[in-house]
Amino acid sequence: MAYGIIMSIVLVGAVGCIIGFFLSFASEKFKVKVDEREEAVLSVLPGNNCGGCGYPGCSGLAEAIAKGNAPVGQCPVGGPPVASKIAKIMGVDAGSSERMVAFVKCVGTCEKAKDKYEYSGAKDCSVVALVPGGGPKACSYGCLGFGSCVSACTFDAIHIVNGISVVDKEACKACGACIKACPRHLIELIPYSASEAVGCSNKDKGKDVMAVCDTGCIACHLCEKNCPSDAVHVVDNVAYIDQSKCTGCGTCAEKCPKKVIIRR
Protein backbone atom coordinates (compact mmCIF):
# COMPACT_ATOMS: atom_id res chain seq x y z
CA MET A 1 0.00 0.00 0.00
CA ALA A 2 2.70 2.46 1.07
CA TYR A 3 4.88 1.30 -1.82
CA GLY A 4 2.11 2.04 -4.31
CA ILE A 5 1.60 5.55 -2.92
CA ILE A 6 5.31 6.30 -3.08
CA MET A 7 5.52 5.06 -6.68
CA SER A 8 2.53 7.22 -7.64
CA ILE A 9 4.16 10.30 -6.12
CA VAL A 10 7.43 9.57 -7.87
CA LEU A 11 5.64 8.99 -11.19
CA VAL A 12 3.63 12.22 -10.93
CA GLY A 13 6.79 14.13 -9.98
CA ALA A 14 8.71 12.65 -12.92
CA VAL A 15 5.94 13.49 -15.39
CA GLY A 16 5.80 17.04 -13.99
CA CYS A 17 9.55 17.47 -14.43
CA ILE A 18 9.41 16.19 -18.01
CA ILE A 19 6.50 18.48 -18.91
CA GLY A 20 8.24 21.43 -17.26
CA PHE A 21 11.39 20.74 -19.23
CA PHE A 22 9.56 20.66 -22.55
CA LEU A 23 7.56 23.79 -21.73
CA SER A 24 10.76 25.63 -20.84
CA PHE A 25 12.41 24.42 -24.04
CA ALA A 26 9.40 25.42 -26.15
CA SER A 27 9.18 28.88 -24.58
CA GLU A 28 12.78 29.56 -25.51
CA LYS A 29 12.55 27.95 -28.93
CA PHE A 30 9.37 29.64 -30.08
CA LYS A 31 9.31 32.90 -28.13
CA VAL A 32 8.61 36.03 -30.17
CA LYS A 33 11.38 38.53 -29.90
CA VAL A 34 10.08 42.04 -29.16
CA ASP A 35 12.03 45.06 -30.30
CA GLU A 36 13.35 46.80 -27.20
CA ARG A 37 12.53 50.12 -28.84
CA GLU A 38 8.90 49.06 -29.18
CA GLU A 39 8.68 48.43 -25.45
CA ALA A 40 10.40 51.74 -24.74
CA VAL A 41 8.01 53.64 -27.03
CA LEU A 42 5.01 51.95 -25.45
CA SER A 43 6.23 53.00 -22.00
CA VAL A 44 6.11 56.72 -22.91
CA LEU A 45 2.79 56.65 -24.77
CA PRO A 46 -0.13 57.95 -22.64
CA GLY A 47 -1.95 54.60 -22.59
CA ASN A 48 -5.40 55.96 -23.43
CA ASN A 49 -5.86 53.48 -26.30
CA CYS A 50 -8.24 55.97 -27.92
CA GLY A 51 -7.41 55.02 -31.51
CA GLY A 52 -6.86 58.64 -32.50
CA CYS A 53 -3.52 57.69 -34.03
CA GLY A 54 -5.19 55.35 -36.49
CA TYR A 55 -3.80 52.20 -34.88
CA PRO A 56 -5.49 49.66 -32.57
CA GLY A 57 -4.37 51.12 -29.27
CA CYS A 58 -1.02 52.30 -27.97
CA SER A 59 0.64 48.92 -28.46
CA GLY A 60 -0.26 48.97 -32.15
CA LEU A 61 1.22 52.43 -32.55
CA ALA A 62 4.36 51.50 -30.63
CA GLU A 63 4.92 48.56 -32.95
CA ALA A 64 4.37 50.73 -36.05
CA ILE A 65 6.80 53.41 -34.82
CA ALA A 66 9.45 50.83 -33.95
CA LYS A 67 9.17 49.34 -37.44
CA GLY A 68 9.34 52.77 -39.06
CA ASN A 69 5.78 52.60 -40.35
CA ALA A 70 4.52 55.59 -38.34
CA PRO A 71 6.09 58.96 -37.46
CA VAL A 72 7.22 59.65 -33.90
CA GLY A 73 4.56 62.35 -33.57
CA GLN A 74 1.62 60.12 -34.52
CA CYS A 75 0.04 60.20 -31.05
CA PRO A 76 -2.40 63.15 -30.88
CA VAL A 77 -2.95 62.76 -27.15
CA GLY A 78 0.72 62.88 -26.20
CA GLY A 79 1.46 65.73 -28.59
CA PRO A 80 4.93 67.30 -28.96
CA PRO A 81 6.20 66.28 -25.48
CA VAL A 82 5.64 62.58 -26.15
CA ALA A 83 6.90 62.92 -29.72
CA SER A 84 10.14 64.34 -28.37
CA LYS A 85 10.63 61.38 -26.01
CA ILE A 86 9.89 58.87 -28.76
CA ALA A 87 12.28 60.65 -31.11
CA LYS A 88 15.09 60.16 -28.58
CA ILE A 89 14.27 56.46 -28.33
CA MET A 90 14.25 56.08 -32.11
CA GLY A 91 17.29 58.29 -32.60
CA VAL A 92 15.56 60.69 -34.99
CA ASP A 93 14.52 64.33 -35.08
CA ALA A 94 11.06 64.96 -33.63
CA GLY A 95 10.49 67.81 -36.06
CA SER A 96 7.95 70.52 -35.38
CA SER A 97 4.27 69.85 -34.81
CA GLU A 98 1.41 72.08 -33.77
CA ARG A 99 -1.16 71.16 -31.19
CA MET A 100 -4.57 70.59 -32.71
CA VAL A 101 -8.00 70.75 -31.10
CA ALA A 102 -11.51 69.88 -32.17
CA PHE A 103 -13.90 72.62 -33.28
CA VAL A 104 -17.66 72.36 -33.89
CA LYS A 105 -18.74 74.23 -37.03
CA CYS A 106 -22.07 75.38 -35.69
CA VAL A 107 -23.14 78.25 -33.43
CA GLY A 108 -26.87 77.75 -33.89
CA THR A 109 -27.92 77.82 -30.24
CA CYS A 110 -31.47 77.30 -29.04
CA GLU A 111 -32.30 81.00 -29.46
CA LYS A 112 -30.80 81.28 -32.96
CA ALA A 113 -31.62 78.00 -34.68
CA LYS A 114 -35.24 77.21 -35.50
CA ASP A 115 -36.98 73.88 -34.95
CA LYS A 116 -39.48 72.16 -37.24
CA TYR A 117 -41.20 70.13 -34.54
CA GLU A 118 -40.82 68.96 -30.97
CA TYR A 119 -38.80 65.77 -30.68
CA SER A 120 -39.23 63.28 -27.84
CA GLY A 121 -37.38 60.19 -29.06
CA ALA A 122 -33.96 58.72 -28.29
CA LYS A 123 -31.41 61.29 -27.17
CA ASP A 124 -28.69 60.22 -29.56
CA CYS A 125 -27.54 62.16 -32.62
CA SER A 126 -26.96 59.06 -34.75
CA VAL A 127 -30.56 58.03 -34.11
CA VAL A 128 -32.04 61.51 -34.50
CA ALA A 129 -30.30 61.96 -37.85
CA LEU A 130 -32.36 59.05 -39.21
CA VAL A 131 -35.81 60.31 -38.23
CA PRO A 132 -38.00 62.12 -40.78
CA GLY A 133 -36.42 65.39 -41.88
CA GLY A 134 -33.13 64.50 -40.22
CA GLY A 135 -34.31 65.61 -36.79
CA PRO A 136 -36.22 68.54 -35.32
CA LYS A 137 -33.70 71.26 -36.21
CA ALA A 138 -34.74 73.24 -39.28
CA CYS A 139 -31.13 73.60 -40.45
CA SER A 140 -30.16 70.30 -42.03
CA TYR A 141 -26.48 71.12 -41.49
CA GLY A 142 -26.60 72.20 -37.84
CA CYS A 143 -25.61 70.51 -34.60
CA LEU A 144 -28.38 68.19 -33.41
CA GLY A 145 -27.41 68.78 -29.80
CA PHE A 146 -28.02 65.31 -28.39
CA GLY A 147 -24.43 64.62 -27.42
CA SER A 148 -23.13 61.63 -29.36
CA CYS A 149 -19.80 63.47 -29.44
CA VAL A 150 -19.98 64.02 -25.69
CA SER A 151 -20.40 60.29 -25.09
CA ALA A 152 -17.51 59.49 -27.43
CA CYS A 153 -15.04 61.84 -25.74
CA THR A 154 -13.00 60.12 -23.05
CA PHE A 155 -11.37 63.36 -21.93
CA ASP A 156 -14.52 65.28 -20.90
CA ALA A 157 -13.56 67.95 -23.43
CA ILE A 158 -16.90 68.50 -25.16
CA HIS A 159 -20.30 69.39 -23.73
CA ILE A 160 -23.75 70.47 -24.87
CA VAL A 161 -24.17 74.17 -24.11
CA ASN A 162 -27.45 75.88 -25.01
CA GLY A 163 -28.35 73.23 -27.57
CA ILE A 164 -25.02 72.82 -29.37
CA SER A 165 -21.74 71.01 -28.79
CA VAL A 166 -18.89 73.16 -27.49
CA VAL A 167 -15.27 72.01 -27.19
CA ASP A 168 -13.07 72.92 -24.25
CA LYS A 169 -9.84 73.42 -26.15
CA GLU A 170 -7.76 73.18 -22.99
CA ALA A 171 -9.04 69.67 -22.29
CA CYS A 172 -9.17 68.47 -25.92
CA LYS A 173 -6.50 65.95 -26.95
CA ALA A 174 -7.42 65.87 -30.66
CA CYS A 175 -8.05 62.11 -30.56
CA GLY A 176 -10.77 62.46 -33.21
CA ALA A 177 -13.40 60.38 -31.39
CA CYS A 178 -15.95 63.22 -31.54
CA ILE A 179 -15.31 63.67 -35.26
CA LYS A 180 -16.21 60.04 -35.93
CA ALA A 181 -19.27 60.23 -33.68
CA CYS A 182 -20.91 63.25 -35.36
CA PRO A 183 -23.40 62.06 -38.00
CA ARG A 184 -23.39 65.49 -39.65
CA HIS A 185 -19.61 65.76 -39.88
CA LEU A 186 -19.58 69.12 -38.12
CA ILE A 187 -16.38 68.67 -36.14
CA GLU A 188 -12.90 69.27 -37.48
CA LEU A 189 -9.40 69.67 -36.09
CA ILE A 190 -7.90 73.14 -36.16
CA PRO A 191 -4.71 74.56 -34.64
CA TYR A 192 -4.90 75.32 -30.92
CA SER A 193 -3.52 78.77 -31.76
CA ALA A 194 -6.25 79.57 -34.31
CA SER A 195 -7.83 82.88 -33.32
CA GLU A 196 -10.81 82.78 -35.68
CA ALA A 197 -13.03 79.95 -36.86
CA VAL A 198 -16.24 79.72 -38.89
CA GLY A 199 -19.13 78.37 -36.82
CA CYS A 200 -21.33 77.26 -39.70
CA SER A 201 -21.52 74.46 -42.25
CA ASN A 202 -24.71 75.41 -44.10
CA LYS A 203 -24.16 75.32 -47.86
CA ASP A 204 -27.58 76.66 -48.81
CA LYS A 205 -28.17 80.08 -50.33
CA GLY A 206 -28.36 83.08 -48.02
CA LYS A 207 -32.14 83.45 -47.96
CA ASP A 208 -32.59 79.77 -47.18
CA VAL A 209 -30.03 79.98 -44.36
CA MET A 210 -31.78 82.95 -42.78
CA ALA A 211 -35.07 81.05 -42.86
CA VAL A 212 -33.70 78.40 -40.50
CA CYS A 213 -31.01 80.17 -38.45
CA ASP A 214 -30.41 83.74 -37.31
CA THR A 215 -26.64 83.33 -37.29
CA GLY A 216 -25.79 81.13 -40.29
CA CYS A 217 -23.31 82.10 -43.01
CA ILE A 218 -25.12 83.85 -45.87
CA ALA A 219 -22.14 83.83 -48.26
CA CYS A 220 -22.01 87.63 -48.43
CA HIS A 221 -18.23 87.50 -49.14
CA LEU A 222 -17.50 90.43 -46.82
CA CYS A 223 -15.01 88.32 -44.87
CA GLU A 224 -13.30 87.29 -48.07
CA LYS A 225 -13.15 90.82 -49.50
CA ASN A 226 -11.76 92.37 -46.32
CA CYS A 227 -9.18 89.75 -45.30
CA PRO A 228 -5.73 91.37 -45.73
CA SER A 229 -3.92 88.01 -45.93
CA ASP A 230 -6.20 86.19 -48.41
CA ALA A 231 -6.97 83.59 -45.74
CA VAL A 232 -10.77 83.61 -46.05
CA HIS A 233 -12.76 82.34 -49.00
CA VAL A 234 -16.39 81.41 -49.54
CA VAL A 235 -16.65 77.86 -50.86
CA ASP A 236 -20.05 76.26 -51.59
CA ASN A 237 -21.84 79.20 -49.95
CA VAL A 238 -20.00 78.98 -46.65
CA ALA A 239 -16.87 80.81 -45.46
CA TYR A 240 -13.65 78.87 -44.98
CA ILE A 241 -10.50 80.06 -43.20
CA ASP A 242 -7.09 78.83 -44.32
CA GLN A 243 -5.40 78.73 -40.92
CA SER A 244 -1.95 78.56 -42.51
CA LYS A 245 -2.51 82.06 -43.92
CA CYS A 246 -4.54 83.60 -41.10
CA THR A 247 -2.67 86.23 -39.07
CA GLY A 248 -5.34 86.57 -36.40
CA CYS A 249 -6.14 90.19 -37.20
CA GLY A 250 -9.85 89.63 -36.55
CA THR A 251 -11.06 91.61 -39.57
CA CYS A 252 -13.22 88.77 -40.85
CA ALA A 253 -15.01 88.45 -37.51
CA GLU A 254 -15.58 92.20 -37.34
CA LYS A 255 -16.99 92.38 -40.88
CA CYS A 256 -19.25 89.32 -40.65
CA PRO A 257 -22.84 90.65 -40.43
CA LYS A 258 -24.18 87.38 -38.98
CA LYS A 259 -21.34 87.03 -36.44
CA VAL A 260 -20.77 83.47 -37.54
CA ILE A 261 -16.98 83.90 -37.51
CA ILE A 262 -16.03 83.67 -33.86
CA ARG A 263 -12.86 84.74 -32.09
CA ARG A 264 -11.41 81.98 -29.94
Residues 6+ apart with CB under 8 A from 255: 222, 223, 226
147 in a domain, yes or no?
A: yes
pTM of the model: 0.78
110 in a domain, yes or no?
A: yes
Residues 169 and 243 in one domain: no
Pairing status of strand 158-161 against strand 164-167 = antiparallel
**Mean pLDDT (the chain, rounded):** 89
Residues 169 and 102 in one domain: yes
pLDDT in tens, 158-210: 999 999 999 999 999 999 999 999 999 999 999 999 999 999 999 999 999 99
pLDDT of residue 56: 87
30 in a domain, yes or no?
A: no
24 in a domain, yes or no?
A: no
Residues 231 and 262 in one domain: yes
Residues 108 and 157 in one domain: yes
For position 208, which CATH number holds?
A: 3.30.70.20
pLDDT of residue 21: 64
170 in a domain, yes or no?
A: yes
Residues 77 and 120 in one domain: no
Q: Which residues of the chain have a pLDDT value below 50? A: none
pLDDT of residue 92: 87
Residues 134 and 200 in one domain: no
pLDDT of residue 157: 96
pLDDT of residue 245: 96
Residues 200 and 176 in one domain: no
Q: Which domain holds residue 68?
A: 36-90
| Domain-terminating residue out of 192, 215, 233 | 192
pLDDT of residue 32: 53
Residues 119 and 183 in one domain: yes
176 in a domain, yes or no?
A: yes
18 in a domain, yes or no?
A: no
pLDDT of residue 241: 98
Residues 124 and 179 in one domain: yes
Residues 174 and 222 in one domain: no
| Domain-terminating residue out of 49, 71, 90 | 90
pLDDT of residue 30: 54
- The structural domain count of the chain equals 3
Residues 113 and 153 in one domain: yes
| Domain-terminating residue out of 192, 215, 243 | 192
Which amino acid appears at position 227 of this protein?
Answer: C
